[in-house]
Structure 1
Amino acid sequence: MPPRDPRVSEPGTRGPAVLPVAPIPVGSVVDYAAVRLIKKEVGEELTDLLRAKSGLSGAAQEQQGRHLINRQVALWSDAEAVRRGAATSAAEDAAIAQAVFDLQFRAGRLQAHLDNVLVENIFINGYVDVWLDFTDGRRVKVPQVADSDEELRELLRDLARRTTGQSERSLSTADPFLALRLSDGSRLQAVIDVTPGTYVTIRRHSMRHADLPELVSRGMLDSTLEQFLRACVRAEKNIMVVGGQAAGKTTLLRALLREVDPDERFATLETEYELFAHENGYHRQVVPMEARESNGEFVAGSAAGEITLMDLMYRALRMTLTRIVVGEVRGPEIVAMLQAMTNGAGGNLCTLHAIHPSVVFDRIAELYLLAQANMSESLAYRQSANGLDFIVFVASIDETKIGGHRHRFLSHVLEVTGVGEGGRPETNQIFGPRPEWAEPRGVPLMVPRCINDLRRVGFDANLLAAPGGAWGAALPLLVQESSL
């Protein structure tokens, strides 16, 4: 296990602060009733200031806010000293100031968990029930992040108002769902009214700029599969990354994108930005496109202001792109995606949710049938067979409940070779598990038909001759895989 980063708090404690406001000391008991009152005063003063000085940048607003917070905390400290008969401590004042800053400009008590790089997911099941998922597989209950359900909802509304690059999102009885991309790239989904309280899920992105070597170092794949996938991207093969929820599909897609030439022009189409190719400091010709929810109104039976992935797909096809990358196909955009793979240049990439490689084509057919009239299962199979080159499956095995670890790894690489028996796509299993060796991870099984295309971009075909790949030993599981 790597040494603990001293900048990262232990589960359940306050995390690192945003400079220059001092961090809340570990173990401090913060009076959040006082924090809310001070935040209200600061908010009113800041609103008046912004009216007088319109156009202040976000950084300038925070600087002004720090000044106002310090002044209001000093006033609170003087009043509290009179009430108590003793002065407040410097640590208490600093903790109050940090809490007000977080509530005014960031995510309130949630901010500590967003700052903790070891936190993978945040779950709020009503304001009193807060849980964190850590990258090592632990799930830990932590103190509440609000003192009432209404306070939690107000925090969510504040986050919605401050979210940059998106239209204001409401959270009310009329619109009980809220989806946001937070400033750090985390994805937030909140639900009210149709649940007993306010329920929130925040999905973190701990590996925003991952590349294939980093995934090798983390045990997600070996160097043989790394070189194979690198060649697939460089040979402009159409690749669909498939797996279950939270298996690591998006992380792998980010890593595959790092194999695209930095000056190649491609688009990323997403419901919320999660690939971050336009922010990775590597690619220079990315056209990032993000879908947009409706403003809640309907005009002529259609949701006003809504822009779907399907809408983005058709616009992207007109922008002189070499590739189109869809963060996740989950609806009718699958039709346009496969049309782009069939009719345009190669090298397109996307992800799809499926629990096993054997159900991928049925999932595609299901989405086709839900898309619109004149779409059929046979058409879905035919376009899949003609458009896809490879399907890469990301698997996970969670042994945390029996004292083990959660393992994420690539288990299958299927080469799509055309239309087979019964009209279904036919595949070759290039990489797959070896249950007879108790090895669930993908190792070389055969040579793909397109091997010469891969060799032309530098792939060494001899790597596929090693039956165990580059793994030194089978995956260490508490419950071993079996061929039975």
Structure 2
Amino acid sequence: MRSAALPQVQIDYGAAREIKKRVSEQMLAEYKAGRALSGAASEQRARALINEAVTVWADAAQADRPVSRQGEQALATVVFDMLFRAGRLQRYLDDTAVENIFINGHDEVHLDYGDGRVVRADPVADSDEELRELVRDLARTSGQGERTFSTGSPLLALRLADGSRLQAMTEVTGERTYVTIRRHRVQHADLTEMARLGAVSAALQDFLAASVRAERNMMIVGEQNSGKTSLLRALLKEIPAEERFGTLETEFELWAHKNGYHRQVVPMEARESNGERVDGRAAGEITLLELMQRALRMSLTRIVVGEVRGPEITAMMQALTNGRGGNLCTMHASSPHVVFDRIAELYLLAQGNFSEQLAYRQIANGLHLVVFLSVDRSAGRTRRYVSHVWEITGVGEGGRPAYNELFGPARDEARAVPRTPPSPALAQRLEESGFDMSLFRQVGAWRSAVGA
């Protein structure tokens, strides 16, 4: 494991913190004097104050250590990032090749590039207390309500300005603070782009697009960081632009309401508690289950859940059986063969009168397709691809859902290739939605399916 390239100039982070404090005080004074600016104008004013303060600091430092023009610019950039962005963390967020950022205490930072390389990088703070303050700053400027990070609230989930997902822990992790940031490098891909990346073949691309148009209920499943959200975003672009549907997420990651294509999206985001409790309930908290219950009354044609991982599974499955179809969601599972038991497990965790048998029955009655994503991290690179697509065909042996493997791996191909034609009912809906059923005659073929 090698270190990431160091900055071209040495930055005095102590000076950066002092200049940040000074500029903050100046802007606060201007605010109190009625000269406050907002938006881009505020940032422009801050840049002017920062440049002025950096020049003064550099002139004072010249006697002991001359500061180059490049050094002044680098220091000004860090101060601006501390005020308006993610501080010393920002340079890693700006690197589009970085897929994940792992911070194991302030001075142990690792960058995961998604191609098999995990690189040790420079610290993002000078102490764990400074790291915690950085996380608090990000929480305050996130626009996601009152989210605290302290001894009383040692766990924090957050969406950053660029859409990245941050998870932080302190106090429960010994003496160090741990932060994990998951990037979304494939934010705007459609199914054509997913095919170009090798996640799906052309045949599977056409099948998935037709399944969305045919209003089939679909669950995207896979292990963590397998590309479920990226595929779900691509599938959403197959929903007609004028159709009214809702998205439910713990943190916005789908961005259907901001993709420039859909015009009738109702975006809903869960909200964490502010740390207080009122009448035994976490104050300010809004759960996915509560959002789901409200969404069912919003006259939506479809409901899309970014990730099902708790009691909201019961409301989701009810939506699958009660609506007209076309609902989409993702869920964690280690293999396609544990999907049904994973759903049943979430049912049992929801308590109430829910049972394994009820879960199986609702899967059989409401879920049409399971799409499973796999990850291959061999040969020094990471490949994400759909490996299985199952059609749920009803109740099978022992009351468990029965399924038909439409796409699956072949002897010399791990990615999903045509295996078995769909049931007559599904085939009819697919053909009505423009799918060419002759593609299923290319059983076991990936290259011919993509025309390569």
- The TM-score, its normalising length taken from structure 2, stands at 0.96
SS of structure 2 residue aligned to 1:282: coil
Contact in 1 for aligned 2:406/2:421 (Cα 8 Å): yes
Alignment-derived partner of residue 321 in structure 1 = 300
Answer yes or no: is 1:296 the counterpart of 2:275: yes
Alignment of 1:61-80 (within 5 A): 61-80=42-61
**Residues 213 and 53 of structure 1, relative CA distance in 2, 3 Å threshold:** farther
Determine the C-alpha separation between the residues in 2 that align with 1:296 and 1:90. 46
Determine the C-alpha separation between the residues in 2 that align with 1:267 and 1:153. 35
Contact in 2 for aligned 1:209/1:276 (Cα 8 Å): no
Contact in 2 for aligned 1:463/1:469 (Cα 8 Å): no
Alignment-derived partner of residue 440 in structure 2 = 464
Aligned residues: 446
Measured after TM superposition, the shift of residue 163 of structure 1 is 1.2
SS of structure 2 residue aligned to 1:452: helix
Among candidates 142, 155, 170, match of residue 192 of structure 1:
170
Among candidates 224, 233, 247, match of residue 203 of structure 2:
224
Answer yes or no: is 1:81 the counterpart of 2:62: yes
The residue type paired with residue 291 of structure 1 is A
Identity %: 59
Determine the C-alpha separation between the residues in 2 that align with 1:88 and 1:358. 62
Alignment-derived partner of residue 311 in structure 1 = 290
CA RMSD of aligned residues (A): 1.7
Contact in 1 for aligned 2:17/2:79 (Cα 8 Å): yes
SS of structure 2 residue aligned to 1:37: helix
Determine the C-alpha separation between the residues in 1 that align with 2:291 and 2:33. 39
Measured after TM superposition, the shift of residue 77 of structure 1 is 1.3
Alignment-derived partner of residue 19 in structure 2 = 38
| Aligned structure 1 segments of 4 or more residues deviating by more than 6 angstroms | none
Measured after TM superposition, the shift of residue 358 of structure 1 is 0.7
Alignment-derived partner of residue 71 in structure 2 = 92
Among candidates 1, 12, 20, match of residue 4 of structure 2:
12
Answer yes or no: is 1:111 the counterpart of 2:84: no
The residue type paired with residue 196 of structure 2 is S
SS of structure 2 residue aligned to 1:471: coil
Determine the C-alpha separation between the residues in 2 that align with 1:155 and 1:301. 31
Measured after TM superposition, the shift of residue 470 of structure 1 is 3.9
SS of structure 1 residue aligned to 2:314: helix
Answer yes or no: is 1:405 the counterpart of 2:397: no
Structure 1 residues 409-463: Cα deviation after superposition (integer angstroms, max 9, x where no partner) = 111000001111111110000001112xx21111111111110110001100001
Contact in 2 for aligned 1:102/1:109 (Cα 8 Å): yes
Answer yes or no: is 1:29 the counterpart of 2:5: no
Alignment-derived partner of residue 179 in structure 1 = 157
Answer yes or no: is 1:284 the counterpart of 2:263: yes
Alignment-derived partner of residue 361 in structure 1 = 340
Alignment-derived partner of residue 205 in structure 1 = 184
Unaligned runs of 5+ in 2: none
Measured after TM superposition, the shift of residue 42 of structure 1 is 0.9
Measured after TM superposition, the shift of residue 58 of structure 1 is 2.5
Alignment of 1:149-168 (within 5 A): 149-164=128-143, 166-168=144-146
SS of structure 2 residue aligned to 1:119: coil
SS of structure 2 residue aligned to 1:274: coil
SS of structure 1 residue aligned to 2:192: helix
The residue type paired with residue 167 of structure 1 is G
Determine the C-alpha separation between the residues in 2 that align with 1:53 and 1:284. 39
Alignment-derived partner of residue 417 in structure 2 = 443
Contact in 1 for aligned 2:148/2:274 (Cα 8 Å): no
Contact in 2 for aligned 1:179/1:190 (Cα 8 Å): yes
**Residues 11 and 448 of structure 1, relative CA distance in 2, 3 Å threshold:** farther
- The TM-score, its normalising length taken from structure 1, stands at 0.90
Structure 1 residues 297-349: Cα deviation after superposition (integer angstroms, max 9, x where no partner) = 11111111110001100111111110000001001100000100101110000
